[in-house]
Amino acid sequence: MKVDDALHQLHRFPHAILITIDIQGYPLAVATEFRVQGRTLTLTPVNTGSISPGDTQNAQVVFSHIHPLPGYGYDERAYIELTGSLSIGKDDWTFTPHRARGWDEKTLPFLELCERALPQARRYMRMLSQERGEPVGPRMGWGWKLFNATRAPFLTATLVPVGLGLAAAAYDGPFSWKLAGLTTVGAIAAHLGINITNDIFDTRSGADEINVTPTMFSGGSRVLQYGLLSMSEMSALAGACYAVAIGSGLALVAQSGTGLLGLGVAGLLIGYFYTAPPLRLVHRGLGELAVAAGFGPIMVLGAYYVQRGHYALWPAVLSIPVAMFVMLILYANEIPDRIADARAGKRTLVVRFSPGTVVKGYATAASAAYGTVAAGTAAGILPAPTLASLATIPLAVRVTRGINRHFDRPYEVMQSLQDNIVLHLSTGALLIGGVLAARRWGRSRPAA
């Protein structure tokens, strides 16, 4: 903080605290009145008994504010610490600041303050480790570590397209719960593996390291940044997930046919090279397309193929809305990350576009998703009950407005990011419900 900036903010504080060091070497702090006069402060003389401060080059004047919230705690925390010289006059004392430090949670949210302080936390724990001759770090149960590292709550992005593919397959013929279970396990394992490799390569590229505004929806899992897991542990975890995914995939190929192989390999490669070199799809502005393909047509058609043993056009059309909405999850989540992403050379679409274009892009993609459902049913490709998914349009409008309003405020935009995930989930659920309703009520769909 610059001294001039600090001086301009002092009018907010009702009093100051003058601090000097007494003859016994203790800090001596006492509240006083103050006036800002140019680049100095005029202080009302204080009485500290027999240990009065004298002229010194080493004085502090501190200002602190807090707003109590009975029954909760407090908010509106702010403080400014000025360090400088104190001159004792007959009627007034003059303080000339040389250095300023401070924090105002209105301008620097507490969560960002914590992220900016990560290097100090690592330094302190390293120091404790050296003192004790054993590693000192944050502790967390393995369950929570896995929950964080895999970003398990994002599994809705997998469950929706797999569910949609399975529903479409059930619409078209007999259904195997055993194959459905194996499909789901394989898809979940692939997704978790992709999430972990994404963290590994975002850490290596520096994108997650320099991100000081992560939210619960963006900025990675932070388990590497917080020292909860090591890079080798993350790699082993990713390997285990990929092993389960590949094993499940091969078992499904054996059951359903080799036609699944290409789709499965494409899905894994897209997921892995999303952040991994040399392709780094997300660094090239192709990440959004990759996610749309992976969590849209690839998963929907894969789940369909497992049950039916062939591909079809109508599940591909059905996958387009969920592909759009899962892409929009990533797209919106890139908004709070965009500054760190740009610095790390991760040139996502949100980094490349202006804020206005980003918001227009969101609205256009969401409109295209709904347009696909409407056109698909009008053309007789999709069952009519899938039109129920249009009920989420008001939520899409709310998200669009939210990201537009809070584009530059990472923590305020979080509600819109959460709504965006609900949008994908609810639209997907209504599409699945529409397909299952059409199957249940025996409404026929013209052959596509």
Quote the crossing angle between the two packed helices 313-343 and 156-172, to the nearest 10°.
Answer: 170
Whole-number minimum distance, CB 127 to other proteins, in Å?
7
Query: 67, 137, 164: which is closest to 373 by C-alpha?
Result: 164
Out of 12, 31, 129, 397, which residue is the one contacting other proteins (CB under 8 A)? 31
**Residue number with CB closer to other proteins (84 or 296):** 84
Is there binding between residue 175 and other proteins (CB under 8 A)? no
Out of 35, 36, 48, 443, which residue is the one contacting other proteins (CB under 8 A)? 48
**Residue number with CB closer to other proteins (20 or 392):** 20
Out of 11, 139, 174, 446, which residue is the one contacting other proteins (CB under 8 A)? 139
The strand pair at 56-69 and 93-104 is best described as: unpaired
| b/e burial code for range 12-37 (CB count within 10 A of at least 16 → b) | ebeebbbbbeeeeeeebeeebebeee
Q: In whole angstroms, give the CA distance from residue 263 to residue 303.
A: 11
Say how many Å lie between the first and final Cα of the chain, rounded.
65
Whole-number minimum distance, CB 226 to other proteins, in Å?
5
Is there binding between residue 60 and other proteins (CB under 8 A)? yes
x/- contact string, 1-20, with other proteins (CB under 8 A)? --------------x-x-x-
Please answer whether residues 392 and 427 qualify as being in contact, where contact means their C-beta atoms are separated by less than 8 angstroms: yes
Is there binding between residue 107 and other proteins (CB under 8 A)? no
Is there binding between residue 444 and other proteins (CB under 8 A)? no
261 burial class (0-12, 13-18, 19+ CB within 10 angstroms)?
middle
Out of 1, 10, 88, 121, which residue is the one contacting other proteins (CB under 8 A)? 121
Element (H, E) at 116: helix 110-116
**Residue number with CB closer to other proteins (125 or 250):** 125
Out of 118, 266, 339, 384, which residue is the one contacting other proteins (CB under 8 A)? 118
Show Cβ contacts of residue 284 under 8 Å, excluding neighbours closer than 6 positions.
Answer: 347
How many C-beta atoms surround the C-beta of residue 395 within 10 A? Answer: 16
Is there binding between residue 216 and other proteins (CB under 8 A)? yes
Whole-number minimum distance, CB 58 to other proteins, in Å?
6
447 burial class (0-12, 13-18, 19+ CB within 10 angstroms)?
exposed
Whole-number minimum distance, CB 401 to other proteins, in Å?
27
**Total residues in contact with other proteins, by rule CB under 8 A:** 59
Instruction: Kindly state the DSSP code that residue 134 receives in the 8-state scheme.
Output: S
How many C-beta atoms surround the C-beta of residue 139 within 10 A? Answer: 7
User: 73 — alpha (psi -120 to 50), left (phi > 0) or beta?
Assistant: left
Out of 83, 183, 333, 400, which residue is the one contacting other proteins (CB under 8 A)? 83
Alpha helices in 273-383 (DSSP H): 287-293, 299-308, 313-343, 349-352, 355-378
**Residue number with CB closer to other proteins (114 or 210):** 114
Whole-number minimum distance, CB 408 to other proteins, in Å?
23
Out of 10, 108, 147, 393, which residue is the one contacting other proteins (CB under 8 A)? 147
Q: In whole angstroms, give the CA distance from residue 77 to residue 105.
A: 6
Out of 111, 266, 339, 374, which residue is the one contacting other proteins (CB under 8 A)? 111
Give the 3-state secondary structure of residue 98: strand
CB under 8 A: which stretch of 139-147, 205-213, 254-262, 432-440 binds other proteins? 139-147
Span 388-407, contacts to other proteins by CB under 8 A: none
Tokens, residue 105: 């949670």
**Residue number with CB closer to other proteins (60 or 377):** 60
Is there binding between residue 55 and other proteins (CB under 8 A)? no
**Residue number with CB closer to other proteins (99 or 440):** 99
Q: In whole angstroms, give the CA distance from residue 167 to residue 398.
A: 29
Is there binding between residue 42 and other proteins (CB under 8 A)? no
CB under 8 A: which stretch of 116-124, 152-160, 326-334, 371-379 binds other proteins? 116-124
How many C-beta atoms surround the C-beta of residue 390 within 10 A? Answer: 18
Binding region for other proteins (CB under 8 A): 15, 17, 19, 21-22, 24-32, 44-50, 58, 60, 62, 64-68, 71-74, 77, 79, 81, 83, 101, 111, 114, 117-118, 120-121, 123-125, 127-128, 136, 138-140, 144, 147-148, 216, 226, 228
